Structure 1
Amino acid sequence: MPPIPTPPAAPLLAWYDRHRRELPWRVAEPDPYRVWLSEVMLQQTTVAAVGPRFERFLHRFPSVQALAAAPEAAVMEEWAGLGYYARARNLHACARAVAAAGGFPRDVGGLRALPGIGAYTAAAVAAIAFGEAVVPVDGNVERVVARLFTVEEALPAAKARLAALAQGFMEDPAARARPGDFAQGLFDLGATICTPKAPACALCPWRGECAARRRGIQAELPRKAPKRARPLRHGAHFLLTDAGGRLLLRRRPPRGMLGGMLELPG
């Protein structure tokens, strides 16, 4: 079977110009601090939940320098309720590194060297804030690409191939001219049209190019390997109070599950 050609970028960019989501971190002149902060908050947290918390966090820490200068306890306090608290500690460590360096690195390589920044976040900041011709690949993008090119190999084994196919869009001059908008267009397409269940294919700017749609298997992709059974663990905790009603708590080690959080002794 001959390789499936990469769809042109122009239809997606035109669709994004008309239908982009209005989000508080999307501003006319992309700010690396806003982009980075939003991407960290959006890890394991929905857009709906992040929106108001993003604006509140930004009000308290309006710049990377303000975040770097704050005590960790203040950052953790503002993060309360968002979960996955290692993100907040990594955020603070990264802010300090950026402030010490005088600003964010402007490319993927430099961004990857910062504390807590992985491949996806580095690519998102580089593309959106600095115009580097890279495609950040999250779950939404994997789904869009798997369907466009009918990648039937299951995740996570297919991740490298999906990332390579996504990066292939940057051979198109239209995508290279607007890498940030192209990336955000992919995000929005996956979040609103090319959804996990019942994708709205009739509204998709690439409906004519989608190989999975032509075969009628779009809802089956991307395939996922069976999940391993979760181990069952048992433990005991103790509820200890003194005569004044104070509760004994201990702080977990900084690394590992729920690092740095308070818990009952056990």
Structure 2
Amino acid sequence: MTQATGVADFSMRLLDWFDHHGRHDLPWQHPRTPYRVWLSEIMLQQTQVAVVAPYFERFIAALPDLPALAAASQDEVLALWSGLGYYARARNLHAAAKACVDIHAGELPCDAEALRALPGIGRSTAGAILAQAWGERAAILDGNVKRVLCRVHGIEGWPGTPAVEKKLWVIAESLLPVTRLADYTQAQMDFGATLCTRSDPACTLCPIRHDCIAFRGGRTAELPSPKPGKPLPQRSAHMLVIEDDAGRVLLQRRPPTGIWACLWSLPEHADIAEARHWLEHHVEDDVERLQAGEPVMHGFSHYRLQILPHRIAGVRARTAIGDNDDLRWASRAELAGIGLPAPIRRLLKE
């Protein structure tokens, strides 16, 4: 944006674009309560609107308000979140709801500092909640906004670095309009998600293209600067698909920290020898009947996981395994209501 283009002009153009081309029928907009705004913002972290919408509606139907969320069990919350990924978001959401009941009389606080003190709420998420739920003059700086500001202002460097992010926060706060903060916040997210996209942005339709440094210099493909890359390491995990005579599958709860924390999954081992040893101590059967399945690949942000499944059916447990903290049998019909990692759910369906 050039010096001649003022703050009011930028926000006015963006709001005008939003009025004609923005998204006005998202489920969390009707009604736009603090709880619904908060839930949507947490779900939208690292996840697109089209994916979030059905999860949001299912979650709201089951847990319609903050006290209901706080009173729910962690298993219920994780089951509703199952498939959405980044499960720390769900655990933080649940913990924050409990904190609101304990500290804020069951309400989401309308203060930036109090919001940011809750698990899972950072500066940008707090700004989005304040602006959309209460019309406060609070800035946001999610991935879409970073991309737009880097292109419009020609900001060099990966936006994830503290120095670049600090610059972007100053710009984002300077551009806030006086009114229509909820619409302006949504406009920024919509603009980056649907028009000023990561690849192949629709510059010919952009209302601020003539003031955009990246557009004028033919640099939209270069800005924002990408994160310095390095090959993702690959890890392998041997997982046991154990079924009893009734066709139930044996599930094991994940540890409380790490990948897929607290979700139910399949018994996992570092190698096949360890898997066979574990199996010998838990089922009355010939472990040589284990059949290897096709490997399943799953990508995380910092590594790729190769899941090596091994199946054995018609087994009996050596000791009674009821529903407990670590192991449980689940019928195929019950799996839909259990919090499972997405690749494990796919593996079991196959």
* TM-score (structure 2 length as normaliser): 0.68
- Alignment counterpart, residue 128 of structure 1, candidates 104, 117, 132: 132
- Alignment counterpart, residue 200 of structure 2, candidates 178, 198, 201: 198
For 2:247 and 2:67, the matched residues in 1 are separated by 41
Q: 1:253: Cα distance to partner?
A: 1.5
Task: Give the equivalent residue in structure 2 for 1:216.
Answer: 218
Q: Deviations over 1:211-256 (max 9, x none)?
A: 2211121232111132222223344445556676665443221122
Task: Give the equivalent residue in structure 2 for 1:36.
Answer: 38
For 1:155 and 1:131, the matched residues in 2 are separated by 27
Alignment of 1:183-262 (within 5 A): 183-238=185-240, 247-261=249-263, 262=265
Instruction: Judge conservation of contact 1:40–1:87 (CA < 8 Å) in 2.
Output: yes
For 1:184 and 1:192, the matched residues in 2 are separated by 12
Deviates more, 1:196-205 or 1:228-237: 228-237
Deviates more, 1:247-256 or 1:49-58: 247-256
Task: Give the equivalent residue in structure 2 for 1:72.
Answer: 74
Task: Give the equivalent residue in structure 1 for 2:266.
Answer: 263
- Alignment counterpart, residue 179 of structure 2, candidates 146, 161, 177: 177
Instruction: Judge conservation of contact 1:107–1:132 (CA < 8 Å) in 2.
Output: no
For 2:71 and 2:240, the matched residues in 1 are separated by 37
For 1:6 and 1:220, the matched residues in 2 are separated by 25
Instruction: Judge conservation of contact 2:151–2:213 (CA < 8 Å) in 1.
Output: yes
- Alignment counterpart, residue 138 of structure 1, candidates 118, 142, 153: 142
1:154 aligns with 2:161: no
In 2 relative to 1, CA 253–18 (structure 1 residues): closer, same or farther, beyond 3 Å? same
Task: Give the equivalent residue in structure 1 for 2:92.
Answer: 90
For 2:152 and 2:268, the matched residues in 1 are separated by 51
Please report the RMSD computed on the Cα atoms of aligned residues, expressed in angstroms.
2.3
For 1:133 and 1:54, the matched residues in 2 are separated by 26
For 1:12 and 1:244, the matched residues in 2 are separated by 59
User: More strand per residue: 1 or 2?
Assistant: 2
Instruction: Judge conservation of contact 2:77–2:90 (CA < 8 Å) in 1.
Output: yes
In 2 relative to 1, CA 104–239 (structure 1 residues): closer, same or farther, beyond 3 Å? closer
For 1:56 and 1:104, the matched residues in 2 are separated by 21
In structure 2, stretches of 5+ residues that fail to align are 270-350
Q: 1:37: Cα distance to partner?
A: 0.5
For 1:48 and 1:244, the matched residues in 2 are separated by 38
Task: Please state whether the residue corresponding to 1:233 is helix, strand or coil.
Answer: strand
Q: Deviations over 1:32-60 (max 9, x none)?
A: 11111011111222211111221121111
For 1:104 and 1:225, the matched residues in 2 are separated by 35
Identity of aligned residues (%): 45
1:164 aligns with 2:166: no
